[in-house]
Amino acid sequence: MTGVRVRESPPLGVIAPFFLAAPLGLAIAGFILMRVDDTAFLAVNIPHLVAATHATVLGWLTLAIMGAIYQLGPSVFGGHLVSLRLARYQFIVHIASVVCFIPAIYTWNTYWMAGAGVGVVISFILFLINAIPAIAWFRRGSMPRMFISVALLFLIAGASFGITYVGDLEHGWFPITQGRLSGHAHLGLVGFLALVLMGVSYQTVPMFQVVRRGAARFERPVLIITTVAASSGALIFMTDPPPLVRVGIAIALAAGPALWIADVVRMLRSRSRRMLDVHTRATVVSLAFLVAAIVVGIAAAGGEALSPGGQPARLQLAYGILAIGGWGVSTLIGSSFKIVPFLVWNARYLHLAGREPVPSIADLSSERWNHATLGLHSLAVAVLAAGALGGQLAVVHIGGLLLAGAGLSHSLALVSVVFHHPASRASDSAPMKGLTT
Amino acid sequence: MRPADVATILEDVIDPELGIDIVSLGFLYSISVDDSAVAIDMTVTSPNCPMADAIAAMVANRLARSCEGREIALEMVTEPGWEIAMADRSALQKLGIVRN
């Protein structure tokens, strides 16, 4: 009866590295933000900000999404991975490329940026070879699958523009204007990340929060509106349109996520599981950040006229922090604290369950530690956004430190789950009847 | 062995995700017992419940331990779908829906 086939999941050893390494990208972004100077308030395409953005997006968000797709594809969408070995190699190629790419951006070494950028593209190609059959690309019957299918097209488009821009920096084919940069950013942010996050949430929120059927109403409109807005909006952005047009695009880009917010609120209100766990709180926090990102993003599209202190990048920086760091990262923190213990439990204890006492999934991790990580991350994003909006460099640096701490805390929390020691936890959990047998 | 005895045995099976036993959650729709077999119709919270396979395996394993000599016939059904009203008061308390 079930739509989830846990036995079809790839081995823990294939999936876990993606989730364990991903938060380190966030930590690196935090360390980079501790080093920015006040030019960050004047232009968002300075090396430090571009490096921090790509550390978060390629290092943290994309890596975690890759792991999640490798897991969800076979177990939820009925597909299969072409090769587990390919997935392992892809992880190595991705890590090696990102580890070279971020310092190259930070030092603005265009030669190394081009080389490492090619590595990232190779990683994406290897990923797609596995991901497309894993999710049964564009097969009808599942809206989350359709979201991810479309998102992979945007990944291809975003990466294509990205590697073209990197080559352009080395060879000087054409000027990379603010609009062209914005087009590339929104293909990645809205086209890829937002569609994946929204699509996966239509699967995971009902699953983890025990939501009754039919609570979500706008899945199809969200997908259609976001796809049209992201594709056409990114292309129009690349023509460097006037502020009024940019604001129009920003509103169109916000429409899909706004409908999705309504859906998630409906799902949360109709959930049977009323206890607030880290996934519930992360979902609520991420929604708050998304609302803030939408407001600030529309204002940022207005340009200098609306930017505080006449510094045009302050709103754009705050928008990026709220959207990527606030919405995207908070969502994935909540999901990873559910997905990783679930994977570990299935790998270690499923075959024992019913035969001998085993811990429950909640026993595999520390709820207190998980909440502390989420709280630290939320604080970091709020401080960073406040620093950007207020033009206070010291506040941005403090926010960077908090972000680095959240990334490290998150990584260590997940490591503790993967290397969970059964005896130590099971013995904590009272009598046999209280254990999962 | 009576159906009530089987239900008591299955109180040992805890949904690994929710941390609540499957009897309190109201997952068991019917239990029939005869000399040669134990037949159970049961459900989980939703067709997409990530723990459905695990719970089915746990039920089968638990019954195999206590019902030696009898065949275990386990049917996972989706209709009628599980509703929160099927859970008992102790489950509702653990889910945070009613207060202690």
* pLDDT above 90 as % of chain A: 78
Residues of A in contact with B84 (CB under 8 A): 210, 212, 272
CB contact under 8 A, A437 and B53: no
**pLDDT at position A387:** 97
Give the burial class of A85: count Cβ atoms within 10 A of its Cβ; 0-12 exposed, 13-18 middle, 19 or more buried: exposed
Q: Place A3 in a pLDDT band, splitting at 50, 70 and 90.
A: low
Chain B residue with CA closest to A346: the answer is B54
Instruction: Please state the length of chain B.
Output: 100
Tokens, residue A312: 């045009």
Give A353's Cβ-side CA count (13 Å radius): 28
What torsion do the CA atoms of B85, A277, A296, A41 make, to the nearest 10 degrees?
-170
Report CA-CA distances (Å) from A12 to A2, A20, A57, A134, A369: 21, 11, 23, 16, 22
CB contact under 8 A, A436 and B14: yes
Of A273, A361, A435, the CB nearest to B95: A273
| Neighbouring-strand partners of residue A182 | none
For the segment A127-145, what is each residue's pLDDT rounded down to a tens digit?
999 999 999 888 888 899 9
**pLDDT at position B10:** 94
| Neighbouring-strand partners of residue B21 | B14
Residues from A in contact with B at Cβ < 8 Å: 1-7, 76, 203, 206-208, 210-213, 272-276, 342, 345-346, 349-350, 353-355, 360-362, 432-437
DSSP letter string over A385-431?
HHHHHHT-HHHHHHHHHHHHHHHHHHHHHHHHHHT--HHHHHTTS-S
Contact B44, B82 (CB under 8 A): yes
H-only helix segments in A135-218: 143-171, 178-186, 195-209
**pLDDT at position B100:** 66
Contact A41, A317 (CB under 8 A): yes
Distance CA A34, CA A44 (A): 15
* Mean pLDDT, chain A, integer: 91
Local structure of A436: helix, strand or coil:
strand
Distance CA A246, CA A111 (A): 33
For the segment A376-423, what is each residue's pLDDT rounded down to a tens digit?
999 999 999 999 999 999 999 999 999 999 999 999 999 999 988 765
Q: Place A426 in a pLDDT band, splitting at 50, 70 and 90.
A: very low
DSSP letter string over chain B?
--HHHHHHHHTT-B-TTT-SBHHHHT-EEEEEE-SSEEEEEE--S-TT-TTHHHHHHHHHHHHHHHSTTSEEEEEE--SSPP-GGGS-HHHHHHTTSS--
Nearest to A190 by CA among A67, A301, A279: A301
pLDDT for residue A195 is more than 80: yes
Contact A123, A94 (CB under 8 A): yes
Eight-class DSSP state of A174: S
CB contact under 8 A, A361 and B17: yes
CA distance B13 to chain A (A): 5
- For each of the domains in chain A, give its residue range(s) and CATH number, in order of start: 6-351+372-420 (1.20.210.10)
Residues of A in contact with B52 (CB under 8 A): 1-2, 4
H-only helix segments in A270-392: 278-301, 313-320, 329-348, 367-390
Residues of A in contact with B48 (CB under 8 A): 2-4, 76, 203, 206-207
Tokens, residue B19: 């941390």
Residues from B in contact with A at Cβ < 8 Å: 11-19, 43-50, 52-54, 57-62, 64-65, 76-78, 81, 83-84, 87, 94-97
CB contact under 8 A, A361 and B83: no
CA distance B36 to chain A (A): 21
Chain B residue with CA closest to A202: the answer is B48
Contact A401, A32 (CB under 8 A): no
CA distance A436 to chain B (A): 5
Least confident piece of the model among A61-70, A285-294, A402-411, A427-436: A427-436
Least confident piece of the model among A45-49, A162-166, A317-321, B14-18: B14-18
CB contact under 8 A, A5 and B53: yes
CA distance B91 to chain A (A): 10
* Mean pLDDT, chain B, integer: 89
Tokens, residue A237: 């952005």
CB contact under 8 A, A272 and B60: no
Of B14, B78, B87, the CB nearest to A435: B14
Report CA-CA distances (Å) from B45 to A193, A377, B15, B80, B86: 29, 32, 10, 11, 10
Q: Place A263 in a pLDDT band, splitting at 50, 70 and 90.
A: very high
For the segment A321-357, what is each residue's pLDDT rounded down to a tens digit?
999 999 999 999 999 999 999 999 988 888 888 788 8
CB contact under 8 A, A354 and B58: yes
Q: Place A310 in a pLDDT band, splitting at 50, 70 and 90.
A: confident
The stretch A151-165 carries a mean pLDDT of 97
Which residues have a Cβ under 8 Å from the Cβ of A308 and sit 6 or more positions away?
A: A314, A315, A389, A390, A391
Q: Place A37 in a pLDDT band, splitting at 50, 70 and 90.
A: very high
Residues of A in contact with B79 (CB under 8 A): none
Residue type, B59: V
DSSP letter string over A11-25?
PHHHHHHHHHHHHHH
Residues of B in contact with A342 (CB under 8 A): 17, 50
For the segment A234-247, what is each residue's pLDDT rounded down to a tens digit?
999 999 999 999 99
The stretch B6-35 carries a mean pLDDT of 93
User: At the topology level of CATH, where does B3-84 sit?
Assistant: GMP Synthetase; Chain A, domain 3 (3.30.300)
* pLDDT above 70 as % of chain A: 96
**pLDDT at position A432:** 36
CB contact under 8 A, A353 and B54: yes
**pLDDT at position A423:** 56
Eight-class DSSP state of A356: S
Give the burial class of A1: count Cβ atoms within 10 A of its Cβ; 0-12 exposed, 13-18 middle, 19 or more buried: middle
Report CA-CA distances (Å) from A104 to A252, B44, B77: 34, 51, 56
Q: Place A41 in a pLDDT band, splitting at 50, 70 and 90.
A: very high
pLDDT for residue B53 is more than 60: yes
**pLDDT at position A67:** 95
H-only helix segments in A216-277: 219-237, 243-269
CB contact under 8 A, B52 and A346: no
Report CA-CA distances (Å) from A164 to A112, A159, A233: 14, 8, 19
| Neighbouring-strand partners of residue A271 | A211
Distance CA A169, CA A164 (A): 9
Give the burial class of A416: count Cβ atoms within 10 A of its Cβ; 0-12 exposed, 13-18 middle, 19 or more buried: middle
**pLDDT at position A434:** 39
**pLDDT at position B48:** 76
Mutate to test the interface with A, among B24, B40, B51 (most CBs of A within 10 A): B51
Chain B residue with CA closest to A276: the answer is B96
What φ, ψ does residue A271 adopt, rounded to 5°?
-75, 150
Residues of B in contact with A206 (CB under 8 A): 46, 48
Domain range annotation of chain B: 3-84
Element (DSSP H or E) covering residue A66: helix A62-72
CA distance A342 to chain B (A): 8
**pLDDT at position A336:** 94
CB contact under 8 A, A275 and B48: no
| Neighbouring-strand partners of residue B41 | B30, B75
Strands, sheet with B28-33, edge to edge from the N-terminal-most edge strand = B28-33, B37-42, B71-76
